[in-house]
Amino acid sequence: MSVLHKKISHLETEKAEEEKRSSASLTHWMKENSKLSARMEEIEKFFRWNPEANTMHLEYLQAQRQAEQRRAAEQKRQAEEREQQQREERERQAQANALEEQREQEAARARELAWRPRGMGMDR
């Protein structure tokens, strides 16, 4: 029985330590939340009492959105240009391949004509 009592007391002390740690952690996060709430209140108060700052902030946000839209449009334009260049390159390659194939066919015909057996002609 004493082994069980030791295990129980050990588990109880571990439980108490864990509760202490979790309580300290909870206290820490509650303080952090309180600090953030106070900071948000200060910011809100600042903008309520300074309408020019609020206007400037809204203009800043709008400028940021416009800049982001310009960046997105530029990226889209660049992607379309790359795609167009790739298409043109594929077309040039296809034309080059077709031309090469045509040249090979003409060369094959020329070789075929060169090796054609000569029969008896009208010269005789």
Residue-by-residue pLDDT tens, the chain, 124 positions: 788 889 999 999 999 999 999 999 999 999 999 999 999 999 888 878 888 888 888 899 999 999 999 999 999 999 999 999 999 999 999 999 999 999 999 998 888 877 666 666 555 4
Assigned domain for 93 exists? yes
Assigned domain for 59 exists? yes
Assigned domain for 45 exists? yes
Predicted confidence at residue 116, as pLDDT, reads 63
DSSP code string of 48-70: HH-HHHHHHHHHHHHHHHHHHHH
Assigned domain for 119 exists? no
Buried b (16+ CB within 10 A) or exposed e, 27-44: eeeeeeeeeeeeeeeeee
Tokens 């077709």 map to which residue?
98
Give the torsion sign (CA, 19, 23, 29, 30): positive
Predicted confidence at residue 104, as pLDDT, reads 94
Question: What is the distance of C-alpha 49 from the center of its chain?
Answer: 41
Assigned domain for 101 exists? yes
Predicted confidence at residue 35, as pLDDT, reads 96
Predicted confidence at residue 114, as pLDDT, reads 74
Assigned domain for 95 exists? yes
Q: Which two tokens stand for residue 110?
A: 């020329």
Assigned domain for 28 exists? yes
For 45, the domain range is: 12-113
Distances 66 to 22, 24, 43, 78 between C-alpha atoms, Å: 46, 45, 25, 18
Assigned domain for 4 exists? no
What contacts 47, CB < 8 A, 6 or more positions away? Answer: 53, 54, 57
**pTM for the predicted model, two decimal places:** 0.42
Q: Which two tokens stand for residue 35?
A: 């600090």
Rounded distance between C-alpha atoms, residue 41 and residue 78, angstroms: 44
Q: How many domains does the structure of the chain reveal?
A: 1
Phi, psi angles (nearest 5°) of residue 119:
-100, -165
Predicted confidence at residue 112, as pLDDT, reads 80
